[in-house]
Structure 1
């Protein structure tokens, strides 16, 4: 059976968007993930703030890695995000994903995204379908 690190490595090989984001995997285990990402100029919106889609993508990737780290392929079926503070050019964000519940076919996750000062900038919730197909 593949380790959580092996699974994330396989996922990243096929995930050009997560690679473009410049995600750094800090911690991974079944149901948990910690990612870090630096905000650069290509991530800015028309107001010269980091686009909300960036924090969403960071959160979604953290959830995907945490969910799949159990060894079975999982696919998101519902997600939501609340942005609680603006994100600026140069900020370094950390996304901490925690599994809330895991059943036979569904699992629930929460991701808290904080900036380099420890300020909460986004709160993400998601549900995944557990396919039963192994890695």
Structure 2
């Protein structure tokens, strides 16, 4: 994955890497991840399969909720997505994830997905849970 600094969590993420995702920002409670849409991401109607859009949002969410200063693993407790505009081959998507709220081990994150024109194509809301598991890398 591209970006100024790619931490092990993302460098080892084979799924996100295979999809060509690139980390553009990685800050506490904030992440921006981009992905170019390829022909092999299309469904039977010639538009992007929603699973790929969800995967991009989920990756940005994962980065935003796994703080660099914590050795605890944070995972998704649930997520919802609203698809607002069709995505076509050749489009470039950007997912911007922001922490909305956090209390103890739980967190709430909103991810806005835009296309290259800046149009919102989807909105994702993720709920996180910090586990007792520690990361195996630093």
| TM-score after normalising by structure 2 | 0.88
1:77 aligns to 2:82 (yes or no): no
TM-score scaled by length of structure 1? 0.90
Higher helix content, 1 or 2: 1
Which residues of structure 1 form unaligned runs of 5+? none
Q: 1:7-30, CA deviations, whole angstroms, 9 ceiling, x for partnerless residues?
A: x52112332110011111111111
| 2:8 equivalent in structure 1 | 10
How many residues are paired up?
130
- Over the residues paired in the alignment, what is the CA RMSD in angstroms? 1.6
Structure 2 residue aligned with 1:126:
126
| TM-superposition CA deviations, 1:61-116 (whole Å, max 9, x none) | 00000101242310101100000000000000010000001111101000000000
Spell out the pairing of 1:1-135 with structure 2 (5 A cutoff): 9-70=7-68, 71=70, 72-132=72-132, 133=134, 135=138
Q: SS state of the match for residue 26, structure 2?
A: strand
In the TM superposition, structure 1's runs of 4+ consecutive aligned residues that sit over 3 Å from their partners are 132-135
Task: Report the Cα distance in structure 1 between the residues aligned to 2:47 and 2:92, rounded to whole angstroms.
Answer: 14
* Inter-partner Cα distance in structure 2 for 1:41 and 1:68: 31
